[in-house]
Amino acid sequence: MLTFRQKKIRLLGALLIGVLLLMGAGDSTSRVEKLGHQLMCVCSCSQILMECNHVGCTYSDTMRKELTAGVDGGKSDSEVLAMFVEKYGTTVLAAPTHSGFDRVAWLLPFIALVGGIGGVALVVRTWHKRRVPVAATAGSGFSSTDLSRLREQARKETDL
Amino acid sequence: MSQIGSFVLLLALALSGYSFLFGAVALFRRDSLSAVITETARRAGIASFVAVLIAAAILVTAAFQNDFSIAYIYHHSNIDLPAPYKFATLWSGQEGSLLFWSLLLAGYGFVLRLRHKTDERLFAHASVIMAAVQVFFLLLLNFAARPFATTPGELPLDGAGLNPLLQYPEMVIHPPMLYLGYVGFTVPFAFALGALIMKYPGDKWIHITRRWTMVTWGLLSCGIALGAHWAYYVLGWGGYWGWDPVEVASLLPWLTGTAFLHSVMMQEKRGMLKVWNIWLIFITFGLCIFGTFLTRSGVVNSVHAFAQSSIGDWFVAFLAIIAATCIFFYVYNRSHLRTEHHLESLVSRESSFLFNNVLFLLICFVALWGTLFPVLSEWIQGHKITVGPPFFNSVTVPFALLLLFLTAVGPLLAWRKTSLGSLKRNFLWPTVGAIAVGIFLVATPPSWGSVFGMRPWTDVSYFYSLIAAMLAALVIFTVAAEFLRGGRVIAGHTGRGLLPSMMLLGHRNTRRYGGYVVHIGMALIFIGVLGTPLNRTAEKEMGFGDKIDIGPYSLVSRSFTQDETANYSSSIAILDVYRGGKLITTLYPESRFFTATQQPQHMPSVYSPLREDLYVVFEGQNQDTGRPIIKAHLNPLVSWLWIGVLVMLFGTALALFPNAPAPVRAVVTTPAAAGFHAPTAPVGAGD
């Protein structure tokens, strides 16, 4: 049996998910805008479809119309993108997909990030362990040259 | 004229070849003749500068004299081209830009060789290495990409004209800045390699090259920023960075160069990371050459003109030689690069520099990975794919935010080890301030426009924008707190006001405080960029009196007009801009048609208050109705990007200034009186 507190939490959770879903849904104009930024214009201008301002471009207008028709026709985002790939080839997608070999493009940078940060942490740890302990010295055990050297080191390390 | 130009280039090659070969021989000889040969090699290097300068002057003169017998002039100029662009012809195409590379390299070499008295042996090594690089470019200019090649067949009456995209004032400054940056990294590379070859004792080479590196870095930053500014104001797509391979090529050495500028401090202060630093500068130089290869070999698709050419093999060979040379001397002399200290704590300035270096290199790797992935994909899968802005933005943004976090935190950590108390003291108020900024941006109503009323839970890009805003605020607050803290101490000692004390503080350690100003500039650049997800666009066919509403603005079409110059004809829309029913400005977006190239070009018109840019493009005319099509973009915060660049350049200039003399200190010299212990205790943060 759920307590009142548990019920309240579940209700709030359901409401939150509902609100987020509604926020993420978007109208057809924003879907066209969003999908249009995931596609390239194929006129060889190397521009995103919605940003192609190539004067006299014979492709972008047609492609935008096809995109709007696809969205208005009730196709899902992935269906619209698949439709474009079928017609214009894989280079029409502005980014690699998340399947097959293309997934490597997305994964490797984050593997490198984890490796890089982990590597630095490991280096710091190893160096910290290797640190040579400084022998305890009597207060007056330094020569004038030692003191000058140490002052110079302190100045160098502190920018003062 | 073309024959003289070709001859002078051959002469320059001979002089550079002499400077390299005889200079190298002299370095390995230990007899009395060695000094004499070194001197002749130095003078040959200086003379090669004069020869390359003459060659460049001939090419520019040919452009001004409309000498279309030279194929390069025919392809990149025409009679009616305005004078500044005729001058810019020098770097507008493949061959000319390589000649310009060579000229700048010779110029750097000239200055270096004049200053040889600073350290004759080290400078002699650097001079030989620079001559070797110069030989490569002169070989290219003489045999593969000849700027003085003649036009085949009948002499043309007029030239084909300059690409309309390049006919913009910034194109007269952007490439020189970028090239000065690219080429400039040859100098620290030459010194680093020279120091490694001769097992140069100490870090003097770093002190010698510090200013060179900073100037080079500043120029490269300026070049990249000017390129972005040009893209924004000329290309007319409403953005300033599209991750085109040419843009990426300029960013790569900037990233590793920035990492070097940070990590080199560890070598100077603590004698650490000697191997890392030397490889960073090798990689930076290698990336300058690699970037040139990438954009001129046709390996990747680029919107830039000289992407298709056949000189890629030359660059591959040169890169292989550079890599082999660096690896050989590193393996041979690596014992010379032993570190003097080790890291002591994860929470220290050294660690933050290490993390910062790793992030810079990772962003560099991601940019390179994304650029080359289509080639890899084609090789493995058999079909090409596109890796465009959505990939780069998704992957680099989290990395860049981590870097921004380190920009805020790193400078206030102490060398060696930072205590918890010091962390609290330095970061409590800036962190509270940054959180307050975040809350303010979320709590304000969206009706305030621009970035107010952010809803980070609706889209991941908004979430990133909010985090970027908070981190940028953290950077600004920590730097401001540091200036205030130091200023107060000086004010207490000298009795001056707070502001003069802060200025004196900056003057006493220009490198450190100049660096902080650069960090503020970076934070402002992030503020300029974080508005991107909130960009809006509207497009409409407009007749007289028609209106487009976008954000708080209304654009009303007042009139359309036409203009004609010798170089181009143009159609101009005259649009009144209203805000809250009040006329605030008039914009004149233009569509030009260039006569010589028979190419059209949009010239956007931009209204730029600090809060957002209203960016209007005359897209052309509807072919069916004949009505003009106007596209309006509302881009929040873009002005901060340009302000950030200016602040960053100011910081770089400040860091180059000599320090004001430090106040005289009382020095205790008797060991007994010192009570002085070995400096094992950490120095306070921010010191």
Claim to verify: residue B476 and residue B609 sit in the same structural domain: no
Query: In 3-state terms, what secondary structure has residue B561?
Result: strand
Distance CA B132, CA B631 (A): 51
Q: Closest to B680 (Cβ–Cβ): which among A53, A134, A143?
A: A134
Which residues on B lie below 8 Å from A156 (Cβ)?
Answer: 268-269
- Indicate the helix (H) or strand (E) that contains B432: helix B420-443
Interface contact A130, partner B, CB < 8 A: yes
B283 shares a domain with B215: yes
Q: Is residue A142 part of a domain?
A: no
CB of A139 within 8 Å of any CB in chain B?
Answer: yes
Count of structural domains, chain A: 2
Reported as type and span, the H/E element at residue B547 is strand B547-550
Q: List pLDDT tens digits, range B56-86.
A: 999 999 999 999 999 999 998 888 888 889 9
Does one domain contain both B579 and B498?
no
How far is A75 from chain B, CA to nearest CA, in Å? 22
> Cβ contacts (< 8 Å) between A113 and chain B: which residues?
362, 399
A118 found inside a domain:
yes
Q: Is residue B407 part of a domain?
A: no
Q: Which of A45, A117, A151 sits opposite B358 (nearest CB)?
A: A117
What residues of chain B lie within 8 A of the CB of A157, using their CB?
269-270, 415-416, 679, 683
Q: CB-based burial of residue B316 (10 Å sphere; 0-12 exposed, 13-18 middle, 19+ buried)? A: middle
The encoded tokens of residue B218 equal: 């500043």
CB-based contact (8 Å) between A18 and chain B?
A: no
C-alpha neighbours within 13 Å on the C-beta side of residue B315: 20
Q: Which residue has the higher pLDDT, A47 or B64?
A: B64
pLDDT digit string (tens) for A11-21?
555 555 554 44
Q: Which domain holds residue B448?
A: 419-531+640-660
One domain for residues B238 and B371: yes
pLDDT at residue A33 is higher than 70:
yes
Q: Would an 8 Å CB–CB cutoff place A142 in contact with chain B?
A: yes
pLDDT for the residue B569: 87
**Which tokens hold the place of A87?**
């017609």
Q: Give the torsion through C-alpha atoms of B361, B362, B367, B368, to 10 deg.
A: 70
pLDDT of A149 over the 90 cut? no
**B159 and B23 within one domain:** yes
Its domain, for residue A55, covers 26-92
Select from B134, B164, B194 the last residue of a domain. B164
Instruction: Tally the C-alpha atoms within 13 A of residue B529's C-alpha that lie toward its C-beta.
Output: 25
Instruction: Answer whether residue A55 is part of any domain.
Output: yes
pLDDT at A14: 58
Check whether residue A59 and residue A105 sit in a common domain. no
ipTM of the complex: 0.80
Nearest to A131 among B342, B386, B388 (CB): B342
Find the helix or strand (DSSP H, E) in which B584 lies.
Answer: strand B582-587
Please, how many CA atoms are within 13 Å of residue B171, restricted to the half-sphere of its CB? Answer: 25
Q: Same domain for A116 and A82?
A: no
Flag if A51 and B677 touch (Cβ within 8 Å): no
Q: Are residues A87 and A118 in the same domain?
A: no
Cβ contacts of A141 on chain B, cutoff 8 Å = 671
Q: Is A85 on the interface with B (CB under 8 A)?
A: no
Strand B553-564 relative to strand B568-579, pairing:
antiparallel
Minimum-distance CB partner of B678 among A137, A143, A144 = A137
Q: Among the three residues A92, A118, A146, which one is the final residue of a domain in this structure?
A: A92
Nearest CA in chain A to B455: A23
Kindly determine whether residue A47 and residue B359, on different chains, have CB atoms separated by under 8 Å: no
The answer to whether the Cβ–Cβ distance between B301 and A46 falls below 8 Å is: yes
Q: Please tell me whether residues A49 and A78 are part of one structural domain.
A: yes
User: What is the amino acid identity at position B353?
Assistant: F
Contact B302 A46 (CB under 8 A): yes
Can you tell me which residue has the tokens 């950077």? Answer: B475
Domain count, chain B: 4
Chosen for mutation from A30, A47, A64 (greatest number of chain B CBs closer than 10 Å) is: A47
Considering only CB atoms, which chain A residues are within 8 Å of B601? 55
Instruction: Looking at the structure, tell me whether residues A33 and A69 fall in a common domain.
Output: yes
With contacts defined as CB-CB under 8 Å, which chain B residues touch A153?
679
Instruction: Specify burial of residue A64 (Cβ count, 10 A radius: 0-12, 13-18, 19+).
Output: middle
Which among A38-42, A61-65, B13-17 has the top mean pLDDT? B13-17
Contact B390 A38 (CB under 8 A): yes
Do B522 and B551 lie in one domain? The reply is: no
CB contact under 8 A, A102 and B680: no
A120 and B CB contact within 8 Å: yes
Asked whether residue B294 falls in the same domain as residue B181, the answer is yes
A-interface mutation test, from B237, B240, B392, most A Cβ less than 10 A away: B237
The verdict on B139 and B195 lying in the same domain is no
In a domain, A143, yes or no: no
Contacts of A32 in chain B (CB under 8 A): none
**Same domain, yes or no: B131 and B199:** no
Indicate the SS3 state at residue B585.
Answer: strand
Q: Are B114 and B10 in contact (CB under 8 A)?
A: no
pLDDT at B669: 45
Tokens of B618: 């005359």
d(C-alpha A98, C-alpha B633), whole Å: 31
Q: Which of residues 89-108 of A touch B (CB under 8 A)?
A: 89-96, 100-102, 105-106, 108
B394: chain A residues, CB-CB within 8 Å: 95, 106
SS3 assignment for B352-398 = HHHHHHHHHHHHHHHHHHHHHHHHHHHHHHCCCCCCCHHHHHHHHHH
Taking residue B621's Cβ as centre, other Cβ atoms within 10 Å add up to: 15
- Single residue among B164, B185, B214 that ends a domain in this structure: B164
Cβ of A17 under 8 Å from any chain B Cβ? no
Q: Is A5 an 8 Å CB contact of chain B?
A: no
Tell me which residue has tokens 């007319």.
B236
CB contact under 8 A, B342 and A24: no
The answer to whether residues A86 and A122 belong to one domain is no
- Decide if A117 and B301 are in contact by the 8 Å CB cutoff: no
Report yes or no on A7 lying in a domain: no
Of B351, B387, B667, the CB nearest to A105: B387
In DSSP notation, B449-467 reads -TTSS--TTT-HHHHHHHH
The chain B residue lying nearest A55, using CA atoms, is B600
Is A51 found in the same domain as A30?
Answer: yes
Q: Facing residues of B576 across strands?
A: B556, B586
Give yes or no: residues A70 and A86 share one domain. Answer: yes
Q: Would the CB atoms of B385 and A47 count as touching at under 8 Å?
A: no
The closest CB to that of B388, out of A94, A130, A159, belongs to: A94
Decide which of A22 and B29 is more confident.
B29
**Minimal Cα distance from B341: which residue of A?**
A131
DSSP designation for B140: I
Q: Comparing A49-63, A127-141, B357-371, B464-478, which segment has the lowest mean pLDDT? A: A127-141
Q: Global pTM?
A: 0.86
Does any domain span residue B676?
no
What's the CATH number where B592 sits? 2.60.98
B589 neighbors B573 (Cβ within 8 angstroms): yes
Q: Do B674 and A147 touch (CB under 8 A)?
A: yes
- Identify the residue with better confidence: A26 or B342: B342
Clarify whether residues A68 and A105 are in a common domain. Answer: no
Q: Return the pLDDT at B301.
A: 66
pLDDT at residue number A19 = 45
B493 or A27: which leads in pLDDT: B493
Q: Which two tokens stand for residue B271?
A: 């004698």
Distance CA B211, CA B214 (A): 5
Q: In this structure, are A84 and A105 located in the same domain?
A: no
Of the candidates B566, B442, B450, the one whose C-alpha atom is nearest the C-alpha of residue B78 is: B566
Within 8 A of A109 by CB-CB distance, chain B residues are 362, 365-366, 369, 395, 399
Residue written as tokens 């920590």?
A: B478
CB of A133 within 8 Å of any CB in chain B? no
- Provide the token pair at B238: 């409403």
Q: Counting beta carbons within 10 angstroms of the beta carbon of residue B593, is it exposed (0 to 12), middle (13 to 18) or buried (19 or more)?
A: middle
Indicate if A81 and A120 belong to the same structural domain: no
Examine the fold and report which residue of A71, A92, A113 is the final residue of a domain before the chain moves on.
Answer: A92
- What is the least distance, in Å, from the CA of B178 to any CA of chain A? 23
SS3 B576: strand
Does residue B347 form part of some domain? no
Domain assignment present for residue B114? The answer is yes
Positions in chain B short of pLDDT 70: 202, 298-299, 301-309, 341-342, 344, 662-687
Q: What are the helix (H) ranges across B231-348?
A: 245-270, 274-296, 312-333
Contact A154 B683 (CB under 8 A): yes
Residue among A96, A102, A116 whose CB faces B362 most closely: A116
What span, in angstroms and rounded, lies between the C-alpha atoms of B593 and B167?
Answer: 12
Please report the pLDDT score of residue A50 as a whole number.
85
Question: Taking each helix axis from N to C terminus, what angle separates B204-230 and B245-270, rounded to the nearest 10 degrees?
Answer: 150
- Percent with pLDDT over 70 in chain A: 62
pLDDT of residue A25: 44
A140 lies in some domain: no
**Same-domain pairing of B483 and B560:** no
B160 and B199 both lie in a single domain: no
Q: Is A34 in the same domain as A54?
A: yes
| Chain A CA closest to residue B385 | A91
Residue A139 lies in a domain: no
Decide if A143 touches B, using CB distance below 8 A: yes
Q: According to the model, what pLDDT value does residue B662 have?
A: 66
| Closest Cβ–Cβ partner in B343, B370, B537 for A127 | B343
What is the pLDDT confidence band of residue A155, given thresholds at 50, 70 and 90? low
The answer to the question of residue A44 being in a domain is yes
Answer with the one of A43, A67, A92 that is the final residue of a domain: A92
Q: Are B371 and B508 within one domain?
A: no
Single-letter code of the amino acid located at B109 = G
Determine the pLDDT at residue B211. Answer: 87
Contacts of A24 in chain B (CB under 8 A): 458-459
Residue with tokens 């780069």: B392
